[in-house]
Amino acid sequence: MNKIFAVAGVVIKELYRRKDFYVLFILTVAITGGMWVMNFFQDIQVIRFIKEICLALIWISALVISITTAARQIPFERESRTIFPLLAKPIARWQVLLGKFVGCWLAAGAALLVFYAFFGLVSASRDHTLPVIAYVQAFWLHWQLLGIIVAMTLLGSVTFTAPSSNMTIVFIVTIAISKIGGFLHLVAERMAEPSASVLTALYYTIPHLELFDLSELIVHDWPTPPWSGVLLLTLYGFLYTAFFLLAACMVFRRKALN
């Protein structure tokens, strides 16, 4: 574990040197500025619409940070040839990959925490209420989702040659699953065999990322889900994260680095 956290620490330091956190701060200020616009409106529908925009920006920003950070880890090590002295030390390839995952996931979580903190404080300054439990659950499940995406991106980084193609594919897959993944079984009911069975199998195979989205709960002030449901979704996210990480380790173990 010391080796894994050592690699993770290097990843976080690299992000700091690349000024990613300064970009994060600027994006957060922009989102916060958008939230202040709510003070000029009294219509509840307009306020909810602005909240939806701000939360959408948070999701897009977190997605961009997670995918771009994870996609460039292994290819950068290979291009700069720092992967060879790294593996020359008493550290296994799976430890390197797991360390990259932990670093990217923690960095994404820190960025996400800043986003939700600013969003919650500015929203509370206007509404004079702060549903802490709702924000904690939304942040936690969002972070679990980012864990799945980071693991998926790392699998792509040891499979595809160019980081740009990896980022593009993961972006498309993530958006497609989030928007239409939950309706595949309904579409399958209207299709003929064997297409219906294939689509149904795909529905039960893919990770349903839409389950981790509690944006509507925050926007409409709906009751918070039970913690048992949050725990089950956390386990669900860990299983898919472990699956993608295991697949990435198996591919990376057999991949030539020259």
> Looking at residue 119, what is its pLDDT?
83
Position 241 scores a pLDDT of: 95
Provide the pLDDT for residue 40: 52
* pLDDT of 26: 77
- Print pLDDT tens along the chain (258 aa): 677 777 777 777 777 676 666 776 677 677 666 666 655 555 567 667 777 888 888 888 888 888 988 888 888 877 777 777 767 677 778 888 888 899 889 988 888 888 888 888 877 777 667 788 888 999 999 999 999 999 999 999 888 878 888 899 999 999 988 888 778 777 777 777 787 888 888 888 889 888 898 888 888 778 888 989 899 999 999 999 999 999 998 988 887 666
Closest CA relative to residue 112, chosen from 70, 59, 170, 149? 59
- Residue 258 is predicted with a pLDDT of 66
Burial 203-231 (b: 16+ CB within 10 A, else e): beeebbbebbebbebbbeeeebeeeeebe
pLDDT recorded at residue 46? 66
pTM (2 decimals)? Answer: 0.87
Cα 88 off chain centre by: 31
Instruction: State the virtual CA torsion across 179, 185, 189, 195 in degrees, nearest 10.
Output: 90
Contacts with 96 (C-beta within 8 Å, 6 or more apart), sequence order: 7, 83, 86, 87
